[in-house]
Structures are given as C-alpha cells and as structure tokens.
Structure 1
Amino acid sequence: MRFAIFVCFLTCILCSLSAQRKRKNNIPKDSQSQALSLRVETLIIEGSRLLILGNYPAARTTFQQANRLEPNNAVVYFKLAELDMISNASQAALIHINQAISLDGGNKFYLIFKGDILSSLNRYVDLEEVYTKLIDLPGNEQYYFDLGALYKFQKKWDEALEAYEKGQELFGISENIMRERQKIYLQKNDIDALEEDWNRLIAQSPYEIRYVLELCSILIINKAYDQAMVKLLEWEDAKAKLLISQIALQQNDYDKAIFFLKEGFSSQEAPLSAKIQLLDALIDKVSLTASLTDLLDQLLKIYPTRFEAIAFVGDAYLKLDKEVEALSNYRKAITLEGADYNVWQQVISIEFQNLEYDSVIRHCDQALERYPNQALLYFYNGVAHYSNKEFETAERLLSYGRKYVGDPNLLGFFYAQLGDIYNSLEQYPQSDEAYKKALAINPENEHVLNNYSYFLCLRKQQLIKAKDMSKKLIKKHPENATYLDTYGWILFTMKQYEEAEIYLRKATLIDENGTVIEHYGDVLFELGQFKKALTQWRKAKELGGTTDSIELKIKNSEIHD
C-alpha cells in the first residue's frame, strides 16, 4: 500500500518537474546546467520518498540541498511548505508556499495548499483571495461554493449569496446550496427573499411536495401564516393538512384546527409525532371535546402497535384527570415493543397511589428485568412489599436498591422506609440508625419525625427526643390530626395527662379515626373521666383500627362505672 502511494505521489512530482522543464525548453543549456537540473530532480524525488516514509528530518535536509542548488524551483518550496505544516509551523509554511506561487502562479495545487495554510491561521480575508484566484483558473469554477461557504462563515451574507448564485448559474440549482442560502436569509430575517429563492427550487421540481412543506414550515415559524396557507391549500396532502391545522391553532381557531387535523389524521404518511403534538396542544386549549375523544380513539386504531401513540393517549387522559382510562392505556403501552421507562413509571405510580400493591409488585419485577439500575423501582417495590407486611423482602429490595440512588432526597426516603421496616422487624438499633441517616439528609423529613418519635414513644425510650421531634411537626402543621395524636400520645406516655388531653381532643375534632379516639379515651380514663372514656372507646371500636385491648378497656370501664 505504501509503495502504491509513493508511485502515485512520484507521478505528481514528475508532472510538476516536467512542467518546469517545458517552461525552460527554449533556454539553451550546456551540459553542466543539464546535470544540475537532473541532480535537483533526483533530490526532489528522494526527498519525497523520505517524506512519505515519515523520515521528516532527512526529507527536509534533502529539499534544502535541492534549494541551494536551484533557489528558483517551485516544487522544492512546495515540499518545504508541506514539511512545515507537518511540524505545525504554519507561518513558515506560508512563506514557502508564497515563494512557490511566485514562481508558478498557475499551479492550482499550490493555491489549494495555501488555502489550507491560511485556514489553519484563521486568515479568512487572505483565503478569499486564494479562492478568487482558483476560480480564475480554467476548470475550477466549483470553488464559488467554497468561497460562498467562507463568506457565510464570516457572516458576510450578501457576498455569500452572490458567490453561491454564481456557482449555481454555472452548475445549476442545487438543493444543498439552496439550503445554505436559506440559512443566510434566516440570519438576515428576510423571509420574503427566502420564499422567493426557495420558489425556484419548487419550480424546478413542481411535483416534489417536500420542498413546499419545508418552506411552509419556515413561514409558519416566522408567523407568515397567510403566505403558507396559500401554498398549502393547493395540495391534497395529509402533511399539508396538519400544517394548516397548526396555523389555525396558532391563530386560536380551534374548530378549524380540529377540522384539518381530522382531514390528515388517518394517513400513515403524516408523521405520528406531528399528530401527537397537535392533539396535545388542542387538549390544553379546549379540554376534551367529543371530536378530540374521537381522535384519541382513532389514534389507537391507526397505531395499535406503536407504544408512543398508546402512551400519549394515556398522558392525555391523565392530564384530564381520567385516571382509569390513563392507567388502562399505560398498561397496554408497556406490553409493546419500545416501551420506555417513563411509561412503566406511570403505571407503577398510579397503581401505588391506588394502593394496588400486588400490581405494583408485579410490574416492578417486570420493569426491573429491563431497568435493573433504576432506584425508584426498588423503592416502589420495597414499599409495596412492606404494605403487604412482607418485611424481609421489603428490607432486601430497599437495601439493595439503595446503591443505585443518585438523588440525596430519594436516598432520604429509602432510609426513612428502612426505618419503618426495621421497626416492624423489631430490629430497633437498625431502625434508629436508618432514621438518623434520613434526618441527616433532611432534618425536616416529616415522615421520619412522626414515625421515629412515635415508635420511640411505643418503646418508652428517649421520650424527650421523641417529644422534641414531634413538637416540630405540630408547630408546622397545627391542624394535622396524625401529628397531634403522636404528640399527645408522647405526652400521655410521659404521664403529662392534662396537656396530652388538649392535643388528643383536638386531633379527634379534626379526624374521627379509631386509633386517635382510642388514645383520647385512654387519657380521659387517666384523668378520672371514666364515662367519657367509655364513650370514646365504644366509638373507637365502631370505627375500627384500635388495639387488641379495646374490648378489655371497655369491660373494665363498665365495671368501674
């Protein structure tokens, strides 16, 4: 391969040398000058071989020797410029290439190489001059496009447009060049000129609707709605109908937007993403009309195996607080190819809110097969098992999933839930440690402040600490029955019955809960108000949620009464 490259390169060198010899043919030479020329040519060929082999110091020495023998040899200066660029000596390369061009100004390869050097030096004005010289050489008119790109890079918009146009006059209208011109007109914010220019491409391909759609999309973005509408109404095309719907939506004509959306909705050629965007925007504007409901149903029929479509229908119903319909579609979506993590999360989140713990567990297990590094799945799964009183499994899931948590707040919830689980397993030191870690992350974690203080109270341990944590909550939430009950029960456990009665009574007035009312009965009993205590216990028994000792409390109270 290296030999082949060398042969090709050697051919180019010989061509350059041959060109130089032709220019000297009319100059009489004696045998000494002919020998000198042959020696220089031999050195150039040897230096080129060394350059290709990567022996740059030896190559440079060889070319410098040739230069000393023949200081006016353009090829030698060109090769020295190449070596300079290899050494990242751009300024030296520019000096050498200029010397080569001064000796052979019609050599386009020298001009091209000078262009590379100037580009490396960010000397764009000088580069313009090089491209202009290249264009003046016969057969190099394609450099109009390079010159246009250079002007565009320098934000010389008019010069760029002119250069591109001259190139197209010679080579014909090009879609790629028209797109470059389009970008320039957008920079100039000259939408009328852009439309006029793009119409030439449309006229060249009158049956190619994609050019019309692209132009109209630009017009719509720039709020040239009337100009876009005129063009779009000429086409019976589903994508054109969707663009008309978009215009109507922008103009707040929602009936018209729905009408044209329906016109193009059933076509598979119109992109699903465009239909979804329009439907979503219309639902935000007009809520759920019969027409939009029909379109949601159509979407499911047209794309029965596209999870994006079915998941979007789920999103739409969730946005409209139709949770049953949302969950139904989300569940369909996760059975399809391509269903992403967000859809799985929606299913599990809704089921969790609905206390459908068995479904949460089943879907978490399935989702974890696909997304084993998603911490939230371990959290939902663990809490669902905890709610089903499967404490060992819950502990295993949360302890394992904890390593995937990146968000400190979520890690705090993991520790909070582990605190509850260890308490249920009667592993109290581990429970206290988990609660402490949760509070270290967020000292205001209300779940932890309430549960940790309540469980300490039940264990009759660290009651002052329990009281302090619980007091923080009732100061922040003075009308929360759960927090009032916890604080009142801590006071009860500390035998501060009169103060406990105040908070427990307040809790019963806010929430008629069996546990709270039983606690209120307990404090009334300790205060000697036996009849009132009996009334509260009987009421608590009817409501449910009491301790196993409620029957005994009622019986003893009746005897006492």
Structure 2
Amino acid sequence: MNKNSFRIYTILLALFIGFAATDTAFAQRKKKKKSKKKKETPVVSIEEPSKKDLRKAEELFIYAVNEYLLEEYDQALELLLKCNDLNPKDDGIKYQTALAYSKIENYQRSLQFSKRALELDPENKYYYKLVAQNYEVLNLLKDALMVLEKQIEETGDDEEAYFQIAMLYLQMGAPRNAIEYFDIGEEKYGINDVIVRQKQRIYIRLGDLEAALKEGQKLINAYPDELTFKYSQVRLLLGNNRTDEALEMLEPILKNNPNEGEGHFLMANIYRNQGESENYYEELKKAFGCSDQLTDESFNILAGYLQFSYNEKKRFEAEELINIAMGAHPNDDRLMALNADFLISQKKYDLARTYYLKSLEKNANNFKLWKQVISIDWELQQVDSVDKHADMAIEYFPNQALLYLYSGSAKLQKKDYDEAEVIFTQGLQLVVDPSMKIDFNSQLGDTYYQMDDYAKAFTKYDEVLKVDPLNIYVLNNYAYYLSLRKENLEKAEEMSYQTIVAEPENDTYLDTYGWVLFVKGDYKKAEEYLKKAADISQASTVIEHYGDVLIKLGKTEEALEQWEKAKKLGGEVSDQLDQKINQKKYIE
C-alpha cells in the first residue's frame, strides 16, 4: 500500500473527526458507542476528559498535523502523544499517531495505535487499511488478509481492498487465490489495465500463455482505439515465438497508423527474427522518422550500432539513423547526447562537445555529460573552457570532487593561483578515493609553490610521496623546485633519478635530472642527460638548459646555437636569455 495515500484523509480528520470540538459532538460519539456491538469490544474504562482537556487536545492536534505535513514526524509525535493523554478515546488522534509512527518506520507502535483507532470506530475503512498495512510490513500476511476481508464485510465493497487482498495472496504464494480476487474486483468495478497486466504476469508465471493472451484481448476489446494494448499483445506473441500471429495483428495497425513509431519498431523486430536484415533496417528508418516519443528500446538500438562503428557499413547506418531521429526529435536531450557519443567515435571532438552542451541546455543534471564536455576541453587544450564548464558543472553537482580537480587545474594553468588554492582545498574535503586525494595534494603542492609558499608546497609533496613513493609527477616537480631553490640537492637528485628509471625517454624528466646535476656543478654528467633531452624535445626551456651546460663546459658556439634555437622556439624561456646570447655567457 502507498503509505502516502492517507495524507488527504488526515487533513479531513483534523477538520471533521480528529477530536470533539463541542460537548454535543462528543456526546454523539459516546451515544454511538452504546450499540451492542461496541459493548462487546473489550476496552479499558477511562475517565471522561474535561472540556479544558478537549480544547487543549484540539489545539495541539492542529499543530501536530501541521508538523506531520511538514514531515517533522518526531515533533508531530510528541504533540500527538500529549493529545492521546488529554483525549484517550478519540479515534482520529489514534489514527494520526499511527500514521506518524509508520512514517518513522516504527510499525509495531503504528499497529498498536491503528488497532485502537479501529476499536473505537470499526466502520472507518481507512483504519482497516492502516492496520492491514502494518501487518503486511511486519510480514504478518494472514493477519493483514483477515483485516481486509473484515473491512469489506463491515464497510462494503472497496476496489482497493480487493486489489490488496489479491496482492497479499501473491506474496503468500497463492496465485490462483490472487486471480480470484482480481476477478471479483474486475467484475464489480470494470476492466482495469493495471489488474489485467498483473493477471497476465501471473498466468505467464503459471505457464498459461493462452489465459494471458485472453486477458490482453479483453483490454483490446474494451478499448479498441488504444494502440498501447494492441502493441502489448504483439509483444507477448513475439516473446513466445508466435510470429505469424503477431504479424497478422500488426499489419492492419500499421496500415491504419503509418506514422506510429512503436509499430514500426515491432515490425523491425519481426524482420530481424526472420533474418531479413534489409527490411529490418528499412523499418528502423521509418520508426526513427516518426514523431512519437523514443523509448529506451529505441535508444538501445542506436547504442548497439555505435558499438560497431568500426564497421564502415554499420557506421554509415548509425549516422543515417541518428540523423533521421534528430530530424524527427530535434529537442530530445538524450538523442543529442547519443549523437555526441557517435561523433566522439569519429574523433569529431569539437562537434561532439557542441551536441553535449545542447543536451545539457535541456537537462543539466547529467554528470556523465559534464565529464564528457570537460574531457573534450582538456583534450583540445582549451583551458578557459575547462575552467568555465567545470565551474558550471559544480553548480549542479557541488559534491563531485572530480569537478573541483578540473576547475582547480585550469585555474592553476591560467595562473589564478589564489582561486586555484581555494577550489582545490574545497574539493579535497569531498574526496573519498585515495588516488584522487593524491591528485589534489599534487596540484596543491604546485599551487603553493607558485604562490611562493614553499614550505606548504613541499609538505604537500611529502604527503603524496608518503602514500605513493613512486609518483613520478611529484618526484619530478619536487626535484626541479628544490634545484631552483638550491635546497636539499641530494634528495632532489635521488627523486629525479627515479623518474628517468621509470621513463628513460621522457624529455621533461631527463631535463630535470640534468638540471639538478647542473645546479650541483656536475656539468659533464649534466651534459649527457640534457643533450639527450634536447635531442628529443621541442620545449624551449629544455633547449636553453642544454645551452647553459654547454657554456659551462666552454663550448661557446654550441651553446649560442642552442640558445638561439630556444629563442626561436618561443614559449617559456628565462628572462636572461637575450642577455646570455649578447654576452656569450651563462647568467644566473
């Protein structure tokens, strides 16, 4: 049972039967209890509440219902229990208390109060329903069944009660009994598609396909213009290999409704099962060109094509189907995203990003798409876009640490060091994955160094290396920054050496190691590594460093050649490069 189905009734109780507003109303309730039936109910004799208590209970009850509607159930219960003390014979108060207990999942207490409400008013069907609901949650299914049967006996026919009884029988493993009660409800209240579908599931589970099909046909007969029921019947036939009957039923539907996408998808399935690939594809084109809403099944078909995008024929068909679908559904955000996925497979990153962003304009609450957009930004080395899109995504997903890592990294590259430090620090508080914590601390170390806070920078690097001692990114940066400051050069050399052991052909790591040796004054050995770095690099800093070591070794012409090359390459070079060239000497 839907636990929220009593909310409206609760409000009515507060206004009409929650408590006795006047002596007359209360007297009427007392008078009602004089029937023989009521006298047989064993209740504890309780002293009648005073008028003052009744008024106080009424006042507290209104506040309690307000708290309940605000979903402040603990506060509501506190007030309701006081109401029970002041007016212990009020069934409405008992019922509202039971509802509040059920909201905090204290079903034993809810059962206690709902049963008491029912004792006080055995003609209120909502009290029966709540008692039955509590029994069901407590897995006392037979008790729930007895209560609902008693409800029908006492309060008359109730469609919902018949449905609940049937569902209880299902839970008890008695499907035939369930069908019996579904049939009773259907006979009394007419055909209901929910009940018919439930009966179909039962019959299929029992292996009685004919009965399931008969139920489906009842829906079709009752609602001859509702295509959904006909499609369901076709699916049932197809799912049980009765293709000829499915085809016989589907053909007139499509003849009369040629623009029904669902019908064409079903026809495509029939052709696929028959191995008619060309007809299958033609039906898909018709289906995707129809304007009715695309289903999960249709998206699965397109996604299936994307898995074979390496096949030229499949790639062409995928592109054609997506374009057809886009023409019929130009504002479908899922379709835009899927089109972007296809473009990614074709390495059309810029256009793919355009469609991801269009999809996000329709539905921004898609974390996967934001990641895709930012990944493309990064792949295209568009740092401003990374920064912009990461910050936009954080507005929708403020608890996703990855977005802070992207945002902070972009700000670091843009030399917005203060902002980078703030965003990295915020993101670090959200990190759960230890490997991501390493990434954050690494980037924070770089940020602090650029902010001239060297102690914090080196502390962050040490934190990383304590957890991941072979993190070559941190080993390289840490070593390089130590060499720039001429601090702890032995440690710098040791760390840098580990990077070239890990990646002996990496020009950045070779350059760092050579530069550490240069700062230590070991020019001959530095030349070996700086030359190797310069031979494979086009980075101006690396070339300049090689020139620096050559001048130290007295190779002036070769040094000038490297410095000129570094100047021509542009990029990051030292402020002293022109001075070095003009004066033909190394300048610190």
Same fold (TM over 0.5): yes
SS at match of 1:203: helix
Q: Name stretches of at least 5 consecutive residues in structure 1 with no aligned partner.
A: 18-39, 60-82, 91-95, 97-107
Is residue 2:299 matched to residue 1:281?
A: no
Partner of 2:6: none
- After the TM superposition, which residues 515-554 of structure 1 pair with which residues of structure 2 at under 5 Å, given as runs? 515-527=541-553, 533=559, 536-545=562-571, 546-551=573-578, 553=580
Q: Which residue of 2 aligns with 1:28?
A: none
1:360 aligned to 2:383?
Answer: no
Identity of aligned residues (%): 31
Cα shift at 1:331: 3.4
- Mapping for residues 386-397 of structure 1, pairs under 5 Å: 386-397=412-423
Structure 1 counterpart of 2:505, which letter?
A: E
* Aligned mate of 1:14, from 10, 28, 35: 35
RMSD, aligned α-carbons: 5.0
Superposed CA deviations along residues 219-238 of structure 1, whole A, max 9, x for unmatched, are: 66778766655544442222
**2:507 aligned to which of 462, 473, 481:** 481
1:264 aligns with 2:299: no
Distance 2:418 2:167 in 1: 68
The one-letter amino acid of 1:461's match is: E
SS in 1 for 2:308: helix
Q: 1:422 to 1:112 in 2, by over 3 A?
A: closer
Question: Retained in 1: the 8 A contact 2:305–2:315?
Answer: no
Alignment of 1:169-184 (within 5 A): 173-184=191-202
Greater CA drift, 513-522 or 202-211: 513-522
Q: Please list the CA deviations of residues 167-207 of structure 1 after superposition, one character each: whole Å capped at 9, or x if unmatched.
A: 65676544332222233245446656533432333233332
8 Å Cα contact 1:311/1:333 also seen in 2 = yes
- Aligned partner of 1:24 in structure 2 is none
Q: Which residue of 2 aligns with 1:75?
A: none
- 2:513 corresponds to which letter in structure 1? Y
Task: Report what 1:198 is aligned to.
Answer: 216
Structure 1 CA distance, aligned partners of 2:251 and 2:486?
A: 80
CA deviation after TM superposition for structure 1 residue 152, in Å = 1.0
Give, as a single letter, the amino acid of the residue that structure 1 aligns with 2:306: I
Q: Is the deviation greater in 445-454 or in 245-254?
A: 245-254
Q: What residue in structure 1 maps to residue 477 of structure 2?
A: 451
**3-state SS of paired residue (2:487):** coil
Mapped to 1, the partners of 2:196 and 2:173 lie a distance apart of 17
Q: CA deviation at 1:452?
A: 1.4
- Residues 376/167 of structure 1: CA separation in 2 closer, same or farther (3 Å cut): closer
Matching residue of 1:149:
167
Deviates more, 1:272-281 or 1:136-145: 136-145
Q: Is the 8 A contact 1:144 1:167 kept in 2?
A: yes
| CA–CA separation in structure 2 for the residues paired with 1:119 and 1:370 | 39
Contact 1:238 1:264 in 2 (8 A): yes
Instruction: Please tell me the residue identity of whatever aligns with 1:150.
Output: L
User: Structure 2 counterpart of 1:16, which letter?
Assistant: K
User: What residue in structure 2 maps to residue 382 of structure 1?
Assistant: 408
Corresponding residue for residue 227 of structure 2: 209
The CA deviation at 1:400 is: 4.8
State how far apart, in whole Å, the 1-side matches of 2:155 and 2:565 are.
105
8 Å contact kept, 2:167–2:178: yes
Distance 1:488 1:270, change over 3 A: same
The CA deviation at 1:326 is: 0.4
CA offset at residue 263 of structure 1? 1.5
Partner residue in 2 for 1:310: 336
Whether 1:468 and 2:500 are equivalent positions in the alignment is no
The alpha-carbon deviation at position 292 of structure 1 amounts to 3.7
1:296-307 counterparts in 2 under 5 A? 296-307=322-333
Shift of 1:303: 4.0
CA contact (8 A) 1:191 1:219 kept: no
Alignment deviations for residues 434-487 of structure 1 (CA, whole Å, 9 cap, x no partner): 323444454443322211111111111111222232233223223322222222
Q: Deviations over 1:32-86 (max 9, x none)?
A: xxxxxxxx79x98995996999689999xxxxxxxxxxxxxxxxxxxxxxx9x74
Q: How much does 1:394 deviate?
A: 3.4
2:435 is aligned, of 382, 391, 409, to 409
Letter in 1 for 2:172: Q
Confirm or deny: 8 A CA contact 2:162 2:184 kept in the other structure. yes
- What's the offset of the Cα at 1:354? 1.5
> How far apart in 2 are the matches of 1:441 and 1:421?
20
Contact 1:13 1:45 in 2 (8 A): no
239 and 492 in structure 1: CA distance in 2 versus 1, 3 angstrom threshold: same
Q: Given the two structures, how large is their TM-score scaled by the length of structure 2? A: 0.67
Shift in Å, 1:165: 4.3
Q: Separation in 1 of the partners of 2:431 and 2:132?
A: 54
**Are the counterparts in 2 of residues 449 and 469 from structure 1 also a CA contact under 8 Å?**
yes
Greater CA drift, 324-333 or 120-129: 120-129
1:102 paired residue number: none
Q: Residue type matched to 1:311 in 2?
A: A
Distance 1:409 1:224, change over 3 A: farther
Q: Is the 8 A contact 2:114 2:131 kept in 1?
A: no
Q: Which residue, 331, 356, 361 being the options, matches 2:357? A: 331
Query: Could you report, residue by residue, the CA deviation over 1:411-442 in whole angstroms, capped at 9, with x for unpaired residues?
Result: 43333223223323333223223323444454
> Whose Rg is larger?
1
Amino acid at match of 1:261: L
Q: C-alpha deviations, 1:514-534, integer Å up to 9, x for none?
A: 333443444455455666555
2: CA distance, partners of 1:482 / 1:464: 19
Distance 1:536 1:250 in 2: 69
Give 2:526's match in structure 1, choosing from 497, 500, 504: 500
